[in-house]
Amino acid sequence: MTRGLAAMLAAVIFLNASLPAARAQAQAAGPFPEVPLPKPVVRPHRWAYASIVAGLGLAGASFALERSADRTYDRYLTSTDPGEITRLYDRARLEDNLSTASLLGGEALVTFGLYLRFLRRPAGERVGLEWRPDRCAVALRF
């Protein structure tokens, strides 16, 4: 049993001594080929920035409309003329609805602008057609 153990130990030592030399020869065979990276295509993001700015403007306008609706509602509460009460109430409701629509539209525009700027890929990067023997003919990315 000790002879078998000694033989296994000798085999391990021999393999350990010979493997680094084999690895050194494989590494010395040649440098890795340089793979050129494609230059990123610079695209302007004007529509994305315009959408974000317009969305922020609408969100800001919603707060002004809300304050105006609150002032109109306060005047409605203190009014005593029945015709003016109806007019002020309708105006306060309209300004409040416009405020809500402005805030929701602004949030949608900001979200759309962020999508355009950071998530959307141009159509040219999704589908590619190449006629080379070492490549797939059609590539589709999601």
Give the residue extent of every domain in the chain. Answer: 44-122
Inter-CA distances, 27 with 14, 22, 23, 36, 37, Å: 21, 9, 6, 22, 24
Q: Mean pLDDT across the chain, nearest whole number?
A: 83
Is-above-0.75 flag for pTM?
no
For residue 10, pLDDT beyond 80: no
Inter-CA distances, 123 with 11, 129, 141, Å: 60, 13, 10
Q: Could you report the per-residue pLDDT of 108-126, keeping only the tens digit for each?
A: 999 999 999 999 876 655 5
Pairing of strands 138-140, 127-129: antiparallel
